[in-house]
Structure 1
């Protein structure tokens, strides 16, 4: 069942985007089924849950932190996390760099951009993202790479609104990707979840975060 759903989604992506199986709240047994079906990218919202699951799965799993991240939690995932999607402040990026140094790693990060018409979502404004990428503090960071942007669309049935939000994020991505700095290596645009990943794919997403369409509703 899980394998069939993964194959279906992968066929829709046509190699244009990579699938991240969102495994938050799911037991390790289901993650193993997804792994056996070929999934290697798992997305977790909570640091504690990711840190508990990571040792129970093969070492070649790529762990993506897709939920809001507090600076005091970075240390728990710094030794293994593949990509942090939710960097929303310079302070958080500095902490990721600090913890990456301790593990002699370079950690890839995405800037989370606020694109939704919802107050409950996190993220930087367009101008704040640009200011962060121009911050002189980036010159002191040798153990992080900012490789793109992430955004969460409004939770609505209005597909035209979702498309506008994704299109705006892609336009910002194109603008910011022109910046040159040793820390900036734009290559990923993380947008689209179970209900809207097809629209996101049409608007240029390279990473889709799909949970309920694979594992069922929580």
Structure 2
């Protein structure tokens, strides 16, 4: 069973919030770590939804990070009260998205063919770009998240380039030159967009 740091006292919370407002990133880290117990508490009510508990914690933590970033300290409310709503909203959004996605997607599921006629999968795409994703295998059971978070992490242009480049969402896989012609931009610009998008996904995971 996971153990989490003790929550901050009201006085400690005010201190770290003030430091974070002044740009102290270490204070941000403390605010997140000391509220992880809250994430676990909120995630408990969704454990009967056939979702992996670690997965729920990961999604809930995203909600917590958003809460710390957007909390208005001037209203004299406790961060935990606001964060609980953000965590709950993030989990609800994830569950709703998954209900809309009926198809299971695996890292090893074939999603296209390379020029030599060999099957390629999502893992090939990630590894083929030299992306170091130490936690990627933890997502093997439900890689649908990759599809679901694209619109959150990437711009519309970045999403479009990856869809065309790797044949995602039913698109036909295209070369950078073909994408450049279709979008009326240079091939080098397509390459930069692709690399930026993959870097963003790596950092998210």
TM-score, scaled to structure 2? 0.25
Where is the helix percentage greater, Structure 1 or Structure 2?
Answer: 2
TM-score, scaled to structure 1? 0.24
Where is the strand percentage greater, Structure 1 or Structure 2?
Answer: 1
Which structure exhibits the higher relative contact order, with contacts defined as CA atoms closer than 8 Å and separated by 6 or more residues? 1
